[in-house]
Structure 1
Amino acid sequence: MAEIPTPTTPGPDAPARRPSRWRRLPVVRQLQQSVGLQRGMLVAGLVISAVFLLAALLAPLLAPYGFSQLRSGDRPFGAQQPPSAEHLLGTTVGGYDVLSRVVWGSRTALLVIIVAVAASIVLGVVIGLLSGYFGGWLDRVLVVVADAVYAFPSLLLAIVMAIVISGGQSDMWGGILAAALSITVIFIPQYFRVVRAETLRIKAEPFVESARVIGASHRRIMGRHVLRNATRSLPLIVTLNASEAILTLAGLGFLGFGIEPTEAAEWGYDLNKALSDVTSGIWWTSVFPGVAIVLVVLGLTLVGESLNDLADPRLRTRRAAAGMPEPMAGAPVVPGGALDAGPAGLSGLEPTEGDPR
């Protein structure tokens, strides 16, 4: 009869088991490292961001009406109707359902975030990599241009770009691209600075010098060695820039440079049209779009700040090791065991009368 092998516990010299691929994901790894208030902030931010993402993806299923729908059958909704069973959050001054506009507005915000952040990452990383790696006159010119753009007021720059691109207002995709590209111009200097600083540090490392010695091309060094190490901190900036993109989009819509209401729902535009309602005691047309902006920005900011704290060793709070035994008081300090483990106890270590020691 074959013997059943019994599981053995790996010794202290056994190699550590590599964590699974799921546990090595960026946010999952930081979630395991967090503790206390940091974990609470990170979890709250992830929950709010997940709700925002689900609302944007499932907007056709969650919204009771279309974003530009004004009637149900042959009966119009009516303007400035209070919350009721038919309209849970009431209607706007234009006769739109507030709940539907809030839900559909999350999709518009998500599209702007994706286009703006993706475009700014590509342009900012490429320019920062070239500037930091080659240096010289190219680096000086790009630094001056980036500093000039970064010093310009962001919202004013976004307004100018929106007017140049779309003339102030346009259809859904035209307005989304105009807002996204105007926000992209603001974000490029941030990614440029981060990637340039990391590239300057990494290109002086020994492994880069070794790659040059063996004859590797500049393209291979930048793509295989420098780029991979210079972009590790970008996820932290992405979360913070996503919240800033929502605020800039809302600012453009509030000032009248956003998307037409018949083309897409946008929270800033709804807030602009609700200004006159506030003085008349009609609160539901402005409260719910404003709360949506605050919650989404808060959730993304909590995620970004938590990841930033966990990435900084000076700010990260290390989790106390669980299950570690307490150190024993009688630690071995002489060959043969602890002080009280000898044949004669402590007296066995001290010379006595007649002892040759």
Structure 2
Amino acid sequence: MSAAVSTRPVRVRPPWWRRLPVLQQLQQSVGLQRGMLVAGLVITGIFLVVAIFAPLLAPYRYNQLRGPEGLFGAQQPPGPDHLLGTTVGGYDVLSRVIWGAQTALLVIIVAIVLSAFLGIALGLLAGYIGGWFDRITIVIADAIYAFPSLLLAIVAAIVISGGQSSLWGGILAAAISITVVFIPQYLRVVRAEVLRVKSEAFVEAAKVAGAPTSRIMFRHVLRNSTRTLPLILTLNSSEAILTLAGLGFLGFGIEPSAAAEWGYDLNKSLSDVTSGIWWTSIFPGLAIVLVVLGITLIGESLNDLADPRLRARRKPARTAEEAVAAEEPVAREELGEVL
């Protein structure tokens, strides 16, 4: 008697690019949640393209004051030569906005890399080792929450470059303040996940098998403790842009001859608003709002999709008859295999 051949379909694993964090959540989202996520991805994608290709997209340099026909002139209205007009200092507004995207991207990269690296490392050690190291780390992390990020950024800007920053001086001032303030967030999230994962059966099996501690920590524990990090990365990215803009608006940002920065341009355009010169302030401010909005939409969408209760509400509930009908073919196949 020949053995029964199973007709159960074989599950095909999706390609690697469909398992990326944001793309995987995009496939799970529906309705308004998908619209928010798509809008955030589009705005953030445009920001990244503009920042990366700023030298090609900008009509002038960020510190250029004259063209082939002479000086640009201060506070020139939008026209053919300057699509968004010129600033009070005589710079092209469109060029400053485009080059400012590159400065904002550099701050995000430096701040997020530093804070994520240190926060994840401390969270992994605190959660896995425990004891006195865990208690001291948590106390220090709670104390850091008392420091406002913008105030710490001002102090860092003064210490690093005396308040008048070069390109990397301003980037480091904002990045260091964000790093110190946001390390506790990564630390607490990773520590909580490590405490949960290290008690799982596969970790205990690795210990019994004699695997070294470093292999268990990084290969088994850390790999399963970083699922919620994309959400924190997006929220911290928007905070990094706001911190840099706040520094520039208060006069502790980057000099215009060193790099373009949206907060600095807003600070210099305050007097223009009362005179009816709107183009020097509206476009840098709009750039800040749109980029922060796009990144925040991604973060909030990832937060909702990470919550099983919110994700379940978006799926239409099946009735009892539909559930039985869906399970009936599987039950028949299993019964056939047994017989």
1:16 maps to 2:16? no
Say if 2:137 is the partner of 1:142. Answer: yes
5+ long unaligned stretches in structure 1: 1-10, 333-357
Q: For 2:153, give the aligned amino acid.
A: A
Which residue does the alignment assign to 1:299? 294
Query: Who is 2:232 aligned against?
Result: 237
Aligned to 2:80, the other structure's residue is in SS state coil
1:124 to 2:119 alignment: yes
8 Å CA contact 2:165–2:252 kept in 1: the answer is: no
Q: Deviations over 1:178-232 (max 9, x none)?
A: 2212221111111111011111111122222222222222211111111101111
Runs of 4+ aligned structure 1 residues displaced above 4 Å come to: 317-321, 325-329
Give the match's secondary structure for 2:309. coil
CA contact (8 A) 1:240 1:300 kept: yes
**Residues in 2 aligned to 1:12 and 1:292: alpha-carbon distance in whole angstroms:** 56
How far apart are 1:151 and its partner, in Å? 2.2
Distance 1:328 1:159, change over 3 A: closer
Give the CA deviation at 1:327: 8.4
Paired position in structure 1 for 2:332: none
Match of 1:99, SS state, is helix
Q: What is the rounded CA distance, in whole Å, between the counterparts of 1:294 and 1:95 in structure 2? A: 24
User: What is the RMSD of the two structures over their aligned residues, measured on CA atoms?
Assistant: 2.1
Q: Return the TM-score normalized by structure 2.
A: 0.89
Max radius of gyration: which structure? 1
Q: Which residue of 1 aligns with 2:246?
A: 251
The equivalent residue for 1:227 is: 222
Specify which of 158, 172, 176 is matched with residue 177 of structure 1.
Answer: 172
Q: Deviations over 1:38-78 (max 9, x none)?
A: 01000000000010001001111111111000011251111
Report which of the two has the higher share of helix: 2
Structure 2's unaligned 5+ residue stretches are 1-5, 329-339
Aligned position for 1:200: 195
Hey, what does 1:348 align to over in structure 2? none
In 2, Cα distance between equivalents of 1:306 and 1:251: 26
Specify which of 53, 56, 77 is matched with residue 58 of structure 1.
53
- Paired letter, 1:51: I
Q: Does 1:288 align with 2:283?
A: yes
Q: SS in structure 2 opposite 1:315?
A: helix
Q: Which of 91, 94, 106 is 2:89 aligned to? A: 94
Q: Equivalent residue for 1:354?
A: none
2:186 corresponds to: 191
Q: How many Å apart are 1:82 and its aligned residue?
A: 0.9
How big is each residue's C-alpha offset from its partner over 1:256-277, in whole Å with a ceiling of 9 and x where there is no partner?
1111110000000000001111
Cα contact 1:242–1:300 (8 A) shared by 2: yes
